[in-house]
Amino acid sequence: MSEVKVDNRIGGAIVPAKSGKVFERRNPADAREVVSIAPDSDDADVKAAIDAACEASLQWGRTTPTQRANILSKASGILDGKVETLVAGMVKEQGKLAADARNECSRTPKNLELYATEAYRLSGATFPSDDTPLVYSVRGPVGVVGVITPWNFPLNLASRKIGPALAAGNAVVFKPSPLAPLMSDHLASSFEEAGLPAGVLNVVHGFAAGAPLVADKRVNAITFTGSNATGEKIHREIGIGRRVQLELGGKNPVLVLDDADIDLAVNVVMRSSFSLAGQACTGAGRIIVAKNMFDVLLEKVLKEMKKIVLGPGNAPESTMGPLVDGVAVASMESAIAAGVKDGVEIAIGGRRSAAGELQHGFFFEPTILLGAKRNSSVVQNEIFGPVVTFESVEDIDEAINSANDVSYGLSASICTQSISKAQHCAQLVEAGMVRINRPTVGAAFNAPFGGIKQSGTATHKEQYGPTVMDFYTLQRTIWMGS
Ligand code: NAD
């Protein structure tokens, strides 16, 4: 495949960065291949996109629910009609296995279908009052919404923000990850093809386009998914009077209790820790195991790990794809080096894999670390790759204490055959999402998704679920006098 040129989309026009600067996105499975070339936008491009959004938002905010729902449904159909093209592009640009890419590419149109129907559900309420016969609330759009996304689910995550924002009548400025410009452009073009008016959805690519989008006070709300470091900067910048929602990182545990079904637990660990090469916010970096289960679980997981075949996402034999880029490889190496300094032992993996053709990509051996102390950086910090610690615990209380002894609180799995232990842990483990005998990864299409503690803004209204529209709408209460 030859590289695809992607441009910004501003006010209905497809334009390069004003500076003319571009950047390349290379295939993480074979960095010799340039997949896309996109504009490296700066403040001037972002300002033009916000100008366009401000202008378009008034008109769009007055459209009927049916007008908005029709466009979302049409965009959904357009994406659905090119799932295989999207899969091929996503595998090359992002690196995930074709099966995982297909999963994401087919889920994205469904998100838009769901949000199309939300346009009809922007309801208010009436309130009994001593004051006047009618007190009621109504919802309207927020205005201009800035959407900033990471690279690991370039279609799905962006659709979960752009979809509800548009359904509520907001105009959007979308700043996708510079590691996934091609996928973002496919998403944006589907709305344009569906007839979305010019300026309602604007896209600015680049490494430095996020900060000016957040800084511009005309942007009424920022919805962000990404790292804690960036999330903290955005949170500081946003101030009073504007909205922000942050979906951040995790250091998610799998708790394997003393009565767990061992083979099921092995499956939960493998899927939680190594699917998407560990590059999921909900991926498990800590396996906390009852001492009677520790040796057998470790042995069985090691056996499964030895069967993993690293390779490009489009090779049928591959069972784990590459990391997203060389920075990610360096970050694995430094996290593991810090762990070793703290006294951890590498049970398996621990290195970049560069055998044969893999030398051209960013492959990393799935890794287990043993003997890490609770306060060690490998236990406390998100690593965002296929690197996990195994810890032995005496009992369920110690398991819960260990699970909660980090600043994050996104997802957690409990492996047990006891309903009462499952319920006990589900109440006490500090995570926005708790899964019983299920992997930490994955999301329900229509259920709330989000974290607590440092994993986000903890409103638990973000993205999926019936409360999703709260962020994208302003409520106003009206006292009707006679
Ligand atoms: P990142 O924070 O590096 O980048 C995310 C986005 O922010 C990119 O578009 C980037 O260009 C932009 N950005 C960078 N600096 C900015 C600034 N100062 N102001 C505004 N925007 C700025 O994150 P990433 O590496 O792309 O993604 C990986 C992270 O995302 C991991 O921590 C992962 O856990 C997290 N994540 C969380 C969820 C969730 O739902 N909680 C889902 C996926 C990924």
Residue 208 has pLDDT above 70, yes or no: yes
**408-409 and 452-453 beta bridge pairing:** antiparallel
Sign for the pseudo-dihedral over CA of 375, 275, 398, 408: positive
Please name which of 27, 23, 14 lies closest in space to residue 208, comparing C-alpha atoms.
23
Q: What is the pLDDT of residues 210-267, one digit of tens each?
A: 999 999 999 999 999 999 999 999 999 999 999 999 999 999 999 999 999 999 999 9
Closest residue CA from atom 13 of ligand 1: 210
Which pLDDT value is given to residue 467? 82
Residue 456 Cα: closest atom of ligand 1: 41
Residue 225 Cα to ligand 1 midpoint, Å, equals 5
**Which residue among 54, 105, 281, 425 is the active-site one?**
281
Residues with CB under 6 A from ligand 1: 148-152, 175, 177-178, 207, 210-211, 214, 225-227, 230, 233-234, 247-250, 281, 382, 384, 410, 451, 456
pTM to 2 decimal places? 0.97
Mean pLDDT of the chain: 96
**171-175 and 144-148 beta bridge pairing:** parallel
Amino acid letter, 17? A
User: Other CB atoms closer than 10 Å to residue 355's CB: what's the count?
Assistant: 8
Q: What is the pLDDT of residues 417-465, one digit of tens each?
A: 999 999 999 999 999 999 999 999 998 877 888 999 999 997 656 666 6
Q: Which residues pair with 346 in a beta bridge?
A: 369
Which pLDDT value is given to residue 170? 98
Distance from C-alpha of 193 to C-alpha of 387, rounded to nearest angstrom? 42
Query: Which DSSP category does 464 fall into?
Result: S
- The b-or-e profile of 204-216 (16+ CB within 10 A means b, else e) is bbbeebbbbbbeb
Query: Which DSSP category does 460 fall into?
Result: S
Label residue 482 by pLDDT band (50, 70, 90).
confident
Which pLDDT value is given to residue 99? 98
Q: Quick check: 259 and 418 in contact, CB under 8 A?
A: yes
- Sorted by sequence, the CB contacts under 8 Å of residue 321 that are 6+ apart come out as 28, 29, 91, 95, 96, 97, 100, 276, 277, 310, 311, 312, 313
Label residue 5 by pLDDT band (50, 70, 90).
very high
Q: What is the pLDDT of residues 110-166, one digit of tens each?
A: 999 999 999 999 999 999 999 898 999 999 999 999 999 999 999 999 999 999 999
Pocket test for ligand 1, best of 94, 230, 324, 387 (most atoms within 8 A of CB): 230
Label residue 85 by pLDDT band (50, 70, 90).
very high
Q: DSSP strand E in 142-196: where? A: 144-148, 171-175
Residue 207 Cα: closest atom of ligand 1: 11
Closest residue CA from atom 16 of ligand 1: 210
Residue 449 Cα: closest atom of ligand 1: 40
Q: Quick check: 332 and 346 in contact, CB under 8 A?
A: no
Q: What is the pLDDT of residues 13-55, one digit of tens each?
A: 999 999 999 999 999 999 999 999 999 999 999 999 999 999 9
Q: Which residues pair with 205 in a beta bridge?
A: none
Half-sphere exposure of 31 (CA within 13 A, CB side): 14
Closest residue CA from atom 20 of ligand 1: 210
The mean pLDDT of 277-304, rounded to a whole number, is 98
Q: What is the pLDDT of residues 360-371, one digit of tens each?
A: 999 999 999 999
**Which residue among 104, 118, 192, 247 is the active-site one?**
247
What does 381-418 look like in DSSP terms, one character per residue? Answer: S---SSEEEEEEESSHHHHHHHHHSSSEESEEEEE-S-
Residue 158 Cα to ligand 1 midpoint, Å, equals 12
Which pLDDT value is given to residue 464? 65
Closest residue CA from atom 8 of ligand 1: 177
425 is catalytic: no
Residue 229 Cα to ligand 1 midpoint, Å, equals 8
The mean pLDDT of 51-80, rounded to a whole number, is 98
Which pLDDT value is given to residue 239? 92
Residue 1 has pLDDT above 60, yes or no: no
Closest residue CA from atom 32 of ligand 1: 227
